[in-house]
């Protein structure tokens, strides 16, 4: 994938849609393209967050620990952005993310990501909206699970 194609990919992700192309070019240039084989872990629950990932190709599974072992709670595909919570909140990773099939991703270092959030308030707003949406979806799933047990 060329630098131009990576910039076009970033423009399709809501977090980055409002950022000027020159900055996205810098982001694409300074990000690391990484590959993961099926079953390989992008990061583990409890690890400190040092980067976020944008999936370019393939699918990854989000796993959480349950009484019965690890459970897949989401599947992420092309253009998905993952790993930002640990960076934003400066907390350990909240879940494990594992490649379901061959995954190619852009790895965005924490320092670069935080600089972008600082420089582009509209990016911070997009992130807040996405996190609020994820929280609402989690709450909805929790309500559904609780209603099945009562």
Could you tell me the fold of the domain covering 3-149? Jelly Rolls (2.60.120)
Strands (E), the chain: 32-36, 41-43, 51-57, 60-66, 69-76, 81-82, 96-99, 103-109
Where residue 150 falls among pLDDT bands split at 50, 70, 90? low
How many residues are given for the chain?
150
CA distances from 139 to 1, 97, 110, 133 (A): 38, 21, 28, 10
Q: Where are the domains of the chain?
A: 3-149
| Per-residue model confidence as pLDDT tens digits over 66-112 | 888 888 989 999 988 899 888 888 889 989 999 999 999 999 999 98
Q: What is the pTM of this model?
A: 0.81
């Amino acid at each position: 994938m060329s630098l131009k194609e990576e910039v076009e990919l970033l423009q399709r992700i809501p977090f980055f849609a409002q950022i000027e192309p020159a900055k996205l070019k810098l982001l694409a240039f300074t990000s690391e393209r990484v590959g993961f084989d099926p079953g390989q872990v992008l990061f583990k629950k409890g690890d400190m967050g040092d980067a976020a990932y944008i999936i370019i190709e393939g699918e990854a599974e989000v796993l959480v620990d349950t009484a019965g072992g690890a459970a897949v709670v989401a599947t992420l595909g092309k253009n998905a952005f993952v790993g930002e919570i640990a960076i934003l909140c400066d907390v350990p990773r909240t879940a494990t993310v594992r490649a379901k099939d061959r995954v190619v991703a852009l790895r965005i270092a924490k320092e670069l990501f935080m600089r972008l959030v600082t420089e582009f308030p509209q990016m911070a707003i997009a992130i807040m909206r996405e996190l609020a949406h994820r929280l609402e979806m989690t709450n909805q799933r929790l309500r559904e699970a609780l209603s099945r047990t009562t």
